[in-house]
């Protein structure tokens, strides 16, 4: 957020069941999480936004943009599963604190995320993953009408990066970037690189494909 706050109004929204938000399982399906974004925009008087989401937040951002393309200028989705097969089953079984220990390790720079993890209701993760099976993210990505940037860590143990066959059909207004030294949290594993990418992405002119980032050597598309 600090990277963008100098030039834009920025907000961090806790999805239902995470952080300091209400813990009501009826809100946990993706439909309820997407409605939260719309209600937040309405309350704040926001006409159009750029959405940046990680994991479930990226899925919610992409789903909301598909349903309300007139309200979203662009989406950056980090570490989202392109298919159910890309999801490590441990995400469904472990409690939030255990997941944090698994994915964050002992990195001292991740302390803030580690402190936040126990606030999450494990049912929010389980219910969201269950409803994810009803959402074809690859089809959603391939049919998006707004600029979208997808980011994955090559060594992510929780969400495997998409393969070439999954990226082949991406439309011209989308782009994929692989962080080869990152796991599930590229913003923590390679913060300087991630922050440069985020800044460059939000500074693109409205409607510009993130493929324009290819003119910068470090953002050239790389797939395994």
Q: Does the pLDDT at position 126 exceed 50?
A: yes
Q: Does the pLDDT at position 215 exceed 70?
A: no
On whether the CB atoms of residues 169 and 155 are closer than 8 A, the answer is no
Whole-number pLDDT of residue 224: 38
CATH architecture, domain 2-219: 3-Layer(aba) Sandwich (3.40)
Q: Does the pLDDT at position 221 exceed 80?
A: no
Q: Does the pLDDT at position 4 exceed 50?
A: yes
Which alpha helices (H) appear in the chain, and where do they start and end? 2-5, 30-44, 56-67, 90-93, 96-104, 111-116, 122-132, 137-142, 164-167, 186-189, 191-202
How deeply is 97 buried, as exposed, middle or buried, from its count of CB atoms within 10 A (0-12, 13-18, 19+)? middle
The residue with greater pLDDT, 110 or 71, is 71
* Nearest residue to 73 via CA among 7, 142, 5, 144: 144
- Which tens digit of pLDDT belongs to each residue from 77-96? 999 998 888 999 999 899 99
């Amino acid at each position: 957020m600090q990277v963008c706050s100098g030039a834009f109004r920025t907000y961090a929204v806790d999805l239902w069941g995470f952080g300091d938000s209400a813990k009501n399982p009826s809100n946990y399906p993706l439909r309820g999480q997407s409605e939260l974004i719309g209600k937040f925009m309405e309350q704040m008087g926001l006409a159009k936004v750029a959405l940046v989401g990680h994991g479930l937040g990226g899925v919610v951002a992409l789903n909301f943009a598909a349903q309300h393309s007139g309200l979203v200028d662009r989406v950056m989705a980090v570490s989202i599963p392109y298919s159910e097969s890309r999801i490590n089953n441990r995400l469904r079984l472990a409690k939030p604190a255990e997941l944090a220990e698994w994915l964050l390790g002992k990195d001292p720079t991740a302390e803030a995320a580690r402190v936040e993890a126990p606030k999450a209701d494990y049912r929010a993760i389980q219910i969201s993953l269950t409803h994810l099976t009803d959402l074809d993210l690859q089809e959603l990505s391939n049919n998006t009408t707004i600029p979208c940037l997808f980011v994955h860590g090559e060594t992510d143990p929780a969400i495997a990066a998409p393969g070439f066959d999954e990226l082949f059909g991406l439309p011209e207004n989308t782009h994929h970037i692989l962080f080869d030294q990152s796991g599930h949290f590229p913003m923590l594993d390679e913060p300087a690189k991630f922050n440069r990418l985020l800044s460059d992405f939000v500074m693109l002119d409205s409607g510009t494909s993130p493929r324009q980032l290819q003119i910068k050597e470090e953002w050239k598309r790389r797939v395994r």
